[in-house]
């Protein structure tokens, strides 16, 4: 499912109207202009909006769509902007963003890993650079944890649309932490002996004892979490499209 199949981002169109449009064969923005489902001034407003949406799509302005789509529908951005979608994960010294610090941040975008490490290259400027180069951010529980931590620790104001897979998985009836969700979806995982607590211990060994092997393991774990999010999103995206869109499209 692509953005051009979505009408819910337009003013005055909710889920019921969107489904009605799909069922009547109006499955793309280009189909809307001549449709009879919506008439009069309302039709003109939606047509005007879709023209603006098409222009923003052409220039890759994901912030426009992030503002218009309901938060739980941001997954619809992925098919259009997957090339520069950025899967990210952070490690910290604790759970309180005001008392603890970020130790590593891993970004996975376009098949490449980038990990920023506290005391080396983890700076506000590098974070802004990574975020600026990302069309959309993807995390697991990142809206409640990762993003607030980064904003608190580095004074950031992140406006890039952010897809949080934890809430999408819950929507599909799949709850639990990232490892549990991966298991239920058949996604393989390495480093089974590393979890959040072990990540803190690894950082302390590096910070206090200069243990480079501990840092290497921490970075590998952090990167692996970020990479696995891509496979998770693609599975979730397919399931949501099967649930939200495809049943209402006449074949």
Note the pLDDT of residue 45: 92
Looking at the fold, whether 107 and 145 belong to one and the same domain comes out as: yes
Closest listed residue to residue 223, CA positions, set 83, 93, 114: 114
| Confidence band of 196 (pLDDT split at 50, 70, 90) | confident
Quick check: 251 pLDDT over 60?
no
Looking at the fold, whether 92 and 212 belong to one and the same domain comes out as: yes
Note the pLDDT of residue 3: 96
Note the pLDDT of residue 235: 95
Q: Is residue 38 part of a domain?
A: yes
Report the percentage of the chain scoring pLDDT > 70: 97
Quick check: 191 pLDDT over 90?
no
For every residue of 48-100, DSSP letters joined together read: HHHHHHHHHHHTT-HHHHHHHS-GGGGGGGHHHHGGGEEEEEEEESSS-TTT-
| pLDDT tens-digit series, residues 121-167 | 999 999 999 999 999 999 999 999 999 999 999 999 999 999 999 99
Looking at the fold, whether 208 and 158 belong to one and the same domain comes out as: yes
Q: In CATH, what number is assigned to the domain containing residue 112? A: 3.30.420.10
| pLDDT tens-digit series, residues 44-70 | 999 999 999 999 999 999 999 999 999
Instruction: Count the domains in the chain.
Output: 2
Looking at the fold, whether 103 and 49 belong to one and the same domain comes out as: no
Looking at the fold, whether 219 and 140 belong to one and the same domain comes out as: yes
Looking at the fold, whether 125 and 225 belong to one and the same domain comes out as: yes
Q: Is residue 108 part of a domain?
A: yes
Note the pLDDT of residue 226: 95
| Confidence band of 169 (pLDDT split at 50, 70, 90) | very high
Looking at the fold, whether 134 and 203 belong to one and the same domain comes out as: yes
Give 197 or 137, the one with higher predicted confidence: 137
| Confidence band of 104 (pLDDT split at 50, 70, 90) | very high
| Confidence band of 192 (pLDDT split at 50, 70, 90) | low
| Confidence band of 38 (pLDDT split at 50, 70, 90) | confident
Q: What is the mean pLDDT of the chain?
A: 93
Quick check: 116 pLDDT over 60?
yes
Note the pLDDT of residue 193: 66
Q: Is residue 72 part of a domain?
A: no
Looking at the fold, whether 91 and 207 belong to one and the same domain comes out as: yes
Is the dihedral angle over the CA atoms 160, 161, 166, 167 positive or is it negative? Answer: positive
Is the dihedral angle over the CA atoms 169, 175, 179, 183 positive or is it negative? Answer: negative
Note the pLDDT of residue 190: 67
Looking at the fold, whether 18 and 85 belong to one and the same domain comes out as: no
Q: Is residue 75 part of a domain?
A: no
Q: Is residue 73 part of a domain?
A: no
Note the pLDDT of residue 140: 97
Q: Is residue 122 part of a domain?
A: yes
Q: In CATH, what number is assigned to the domain containing residue 44? A: 1.10.150
Q: Is residue 184 part of a domain?
A: yes
Q: Is residue 106 part of a domain?
A: yes
H or E, element range at 144: none
Note the pLDDT of residue 110: 94
Residue 32 belongs to what domain range?
Answer: 3-59
Quick check: 209 pLDDT over 90?
yes
Closest listed residue to residue 245, CA positions, set 9, 15, 59: 15
């Amino acid at each position: 499912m692509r953005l051009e199949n979505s009408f819910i981002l337009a003013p005055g169109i909710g889920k019921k109207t969107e489904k009605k449009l799909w069922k009547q064969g109006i499955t793309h923005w280009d189909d809307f202009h001549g449709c009879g489902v919506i008439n009069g001034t309302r039709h003109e407003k939606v047509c005007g909006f879709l023209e603006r949406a098409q222009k923003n799509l052409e220039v890759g302005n994901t912030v426009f769509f992030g503002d218009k789509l309901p938060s739980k529908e941001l997954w619809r951005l992925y098919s259009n902007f997957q090339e520069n979608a950025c899967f990210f994960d952070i490690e910290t010294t604790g759970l309180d963003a005001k008392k603890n610090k970020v130790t590593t941040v891993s970004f996975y975008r376009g098949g490449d890993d980038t990990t920023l490490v506290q005391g080396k290259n983890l700076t506000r400027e590098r974070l802004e650079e990574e975020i600026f180069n990302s069309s959309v951010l993807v995390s697991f529980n990142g809206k409640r944890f990762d993003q607030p931590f980064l904003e608190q620790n580095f004074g950031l104001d992140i406006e890039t649309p952010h897809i949080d897979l934890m809430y999408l998985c819950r929507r599909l009836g799949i709850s639990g932490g990232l490892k549990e969700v991966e298991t239920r979806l058949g996604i393989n995982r390495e480093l089974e002996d590393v979890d959040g607590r072990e990540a803190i211990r690894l950082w302390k060994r590096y910070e206090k004892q200069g243990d480079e092997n501990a840092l290497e393991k921490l970075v590998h774990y952090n990167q692996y979490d970020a990479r696995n999010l891509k496979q998770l999103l693609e599975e979730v995206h397919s399931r949501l499209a099967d649930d939200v869109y495809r049943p209402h499209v006449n074949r």
